[in-house]
């Protein structure tokens, strides 16, 4: 008689920012799709000067945590973390668990890699090493099943919209990019003209980072088109927009939005922002090389590609390494 297999306990550790948390939870959920597992979300916040101390000299003491109740033994089988706030603990959890916890750090940790069992950065960071497994973009919670499962709640609103249905995913201001009123006016006019010429409709969402002036310009212009411009109030139609879309437009500033769009297998056009950076250029070049995306040039094109599944590929790699394969 065989005993029941104990599920892996996985902690998804972040500072709670939506984009960072989505990465760790998305990868943890992917591992749980491949093996029996319990996913637990953990958030790290440090008090006072501990918020700014370099992770290598950080005391990583419970006394410095805003809430220490959820970040101590018994330690998990698998620790998946991202973001600067997680690093002081990520660097020490393997030792504190007596080597029982397999430690995975997402993104580029900007520190020595020896404390981690596996580092999963985006390819465009250029990080290499025996315990490094780069992926295109970042892990996502999005799956085709999840997209389809959320769509029915908005069917009454979206089903009557004329084709082509164009999902427009707008990011915003970051270290590398901005969306000025001038650029927003140009973007609004180009997308409006294209959708009108095609006889289609729009399904628009904005980021928390979208500058207010730009958001107002885009919303005002696109509200005159058939479709939905989500105000940010009520149930979030993001997944439903991706499910209903024939074509997806995404601003170039967000790897998360682009990777979500790429998970659908639908044509992805990239909208130009103000600014830029070499690593984003490398990321979009890699997407284009895989047949996922093309720059938006005023046309809505149709093409096919295999939906991107980098999160599941990373999950497989974690389980192989945990098994010693």
The pTM for the full model equals 0.83
Give me the percent of the chain exceeding a pLDDT of 90.
72
Residue 24 has pLDDT above 60, yes or no: yes
Whether 8-136+312-322 shares its CATH topology with 144-295 is answered yes
Q: What is the mean pLDDT of residues 15-27?
A: 92
Distance set, CA 211 to CA 20, 29, 208, 298 (Å): 20, 32, 8, 23
Distance set, CA 59 to CA 35, 38, 47, 49, 68 (Å): 34, 29, 12, 11, 14
Give me the percent of the chain exceeding a pLDDT of 70.
98
pLDDT grade for 215, boundaries at 50, 70 and 90: very high
pLDDT grade for 56, boundaries at 50, 70 and 90: confident
B/e letters for 115-125, b = 16+ CB within 10 Å, e = fewer, are bbbbbbbbebe
**What number of other Cβ atoms are within 10 A of residue 133's Cβ?**
17
ω before 64 within 30° of 0 (cis)? no
Is the distance from CB of 76 to CB of 59 less than 8 angstroms? Answer: no
pLDDT of residue 88: 93
Q: Where are the domains of the chain?
A: 8-136+312-322, 144-295
Residue 229 has pLDDT above 90, yes or no: yes
For residue 193, give every residue at least 6 positions away whose Cβ sits within 8 Å of its Cβ, in sequence order, or none: 298
pLDDT of residue 101: 97
Beta bridge partners of 79: 11, 103
pLDDT grade for 224, boundaries at 50, 70 and 90: very high
For residue 223, give every residue at least 6 positions away whose Cβ sits within 8 Å of its Cβ, in sequence order, or none: 229
Is the distance from CB of 310 to CB of 135 less than 8 angstroms? Answer: yes
Q: What is the mean pLDDT of residues 75-80?
A: 97
Helix axes 18-34, 255-262, angle to 10 degrees: 30
pLDDT of residue 1: 42
pLDDT of residue 325: 52
Beta bridge partners of 248: 167, 268
Q: Determine which of 12-16, 137-141, 202-206 has the lowest per-residue pLDDT on average.
A: 137-141
Residue 182 has pLDDT above 80, yes or no: yes
The backbone region for 294, taken as left when phi is positive above 0, alpha when psi lies in -120 to 50, beta otherwise, is beta
Say which CATH architecture domain 144-295 belongs to: 3-Layer(aba) Sandwich (3.40)
The three-state DSSP-derived secondary structure of the chain is: CCCCCCCEEEEEEECCCHHHHHHHHHHHHHHHHHCCEEEEEEECCECHHHHCCCCCCCCCCHHHECCCCCCCCCCCCEEEECCHHHHHHHCCHHHHCCCCCEEEEECCCCCCCCCCCEEECEHHHCCCCCCECCECCCCCCCCHHHHHHHHHHHHHHHCCCCCCEEEEEECCCCCCEECCHHHHHHHHHHHHHHHHHHCCEEEEEECCCCCHHHHHHHHHHHCCCCEEECCCCCCCCHHHHHHHCCEEEEECCCHHHHHHHHCCCCCEEEECCEECCHHHHHHHHHHHHCCCEEECCCCCCCCCCCCCCHHHHHHHHHHHHHCCC
Q: Give the residue, 277 or 166, on which the prediction is more confident.
A: 166
Altogether, the residues listed in the chain come to a count of 325
Terminal alpha carbon distance of the chain: 27
Residue 97 has pLDDT above 50, yes or no: yes
Q: Give the residue, 48 or 168, on which the prediction is more confident.
A: 168
Is the distance from CB of 89 to CB of 68 less than 8 angstroms? Answer: no
Find the Cα–Cα–Cα–Cα dihedral 286, 287, 293, 298, rounded to 10°: -50
Q: Does the domain at residues 8-136+312-322 carry the CATH identifier 3.40.50?
A: yes
Q: What is the mean pLDDT of the chain?
A: 92
Q: What is the mean pLDDT of residues 108-125?
A: 92
């Amino acid at each position: 008689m065989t005993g029941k297999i104990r599920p892996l306990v996985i902690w998804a550790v972040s500072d709670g920012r939506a984009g960072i948390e989505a990465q760790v939870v998305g990868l943890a959920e992917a591992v749980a799709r491949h093996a029996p597992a319990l996913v637990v979300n953990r958030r790290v916040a440090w008090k006072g000067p501990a918020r700014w101390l370099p992770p290598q000299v950080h005391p990583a003491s419970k006394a410095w945590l805003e809430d220490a109740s959820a970040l101590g033994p018994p330690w998990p089988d698998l620790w998946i973390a991202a973001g600067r706030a997680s690093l002081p603990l990520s660097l020490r959890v393997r030792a504190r668990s007596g080597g029982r916890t397999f430690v995975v750090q997402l993104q580029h940790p900007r520190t020595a890699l020896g404390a981690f069992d596996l580092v999963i950065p985006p390819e465009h960071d250029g990080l290499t090493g025996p315990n490094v497994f780069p992926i295109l973009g970042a892990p996502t919670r999005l799956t085709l099943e999840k997209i389809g499962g959320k769509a029915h709640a908005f069917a009454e609103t979206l089903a009557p919209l004329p084709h082509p249905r164009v999902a427009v995913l707008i990011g915003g201001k970051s270290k590398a990019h901005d969306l000025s009123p001038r650029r927003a006016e140009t973007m609004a006019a180009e997308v409006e003209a294209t959708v009108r010429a095609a006889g289609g409709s729009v399904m628009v969402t904005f980021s928390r980072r979208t500058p207010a002036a730009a958001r107002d310009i885009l919303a005002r212009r696109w509200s005159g088109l058939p479709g939905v411009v989500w105000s940010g109030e009520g149930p979030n139609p993001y997944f439903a927009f991706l499910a209903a879309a024939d074509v997806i437009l995404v601003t170039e500033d967000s790897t998360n939005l682009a990777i979500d769009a790429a998970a659908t297998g639908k044509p992805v056009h990239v909208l130009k922002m103000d600014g830029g950076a070499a690593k984003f250029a490398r990321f979009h070049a890699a997407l284009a090389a895989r047949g996922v995306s093309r720059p938006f040039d005023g046309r809505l094109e149709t093409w096919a590609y295999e939906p991107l599944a980098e999160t599941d590929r990373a999950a497989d790699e974690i389980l192989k390494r945990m098994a010693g394969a």
